[in-house]
Structure 1
């Protein structure tokens, strides 16, 4: 856990202090893409090897779907009411 946080912190420090050229930004973008694909692949392998997750995939999927729908719904509701009260005096 600490190694992940240290690597993230080092990346933030380097990213904030080093100015990259456009060519280096293009290489960095490709490197990030490859890193994300590798991360997703290793996570998929890890999940595929875990038999308890495979056995409970249906219930996990239903809970995930309910969580995603409720989170989205309440986010939209909160944004609606927040903007309604904040922008109350800005009617055009």
Structure 2
């Protein structure tokens, strides 16, 4: 896990520090797409060979739906309150 975080932080530092040309950005985008597709393919294989997951697919789907709904609802609530806070601060500055 630590290796993933280190790689992510190093990538952010390189991306923020260097002006990468359009060609490099396009190549990075293609590499990202390839990585995501490969990851999804391997995850599909893992799901397909695990008989427990196939039999529990309906339960997993319901949990995923609940998780997605709750995440969306609380994100909207959070953004609403943060937006209200920012609007209030801006109004105080103007007065």
**TM-score over 0.5 for the pair:** yes
Relative to total residues, which structure has the larger helix share, 1 or 2?
Answer: 2
Q: 1:9 and 1:78, CA in 2 relative to 1: closer, same or farther beyond 3 A?
A: closer
Structure 2 residues without counterparts, runs of 5 or longer: none
**2:38 aligned residue:** 38
Q: Does residue 11 of structure 2 align to residue 11 of structure 1?
A: yes
Q: Give the aligned length.
A: 90
Q: 1:59 and 1:30, CA in 2 relative to 1: closer, same or farther beyond 3 A?
A: same
Q: Matched residue of 1:87: which SS?
A: helix
Root-mean-square deviation (Å): 2.6
Q: Separation in 2 of the partners of 1:24 and 1:81?
A: 39
Q: State the TM-score, normalizing by the size of structure 2.
A: 0.69
Q: State the TM-score, normalizing by the size of structure 1.
A: 0.71
Q: Separation in 1 of the partners of 2:64 and 2:35?
A: 25
**1:51 aligned residue:** 51
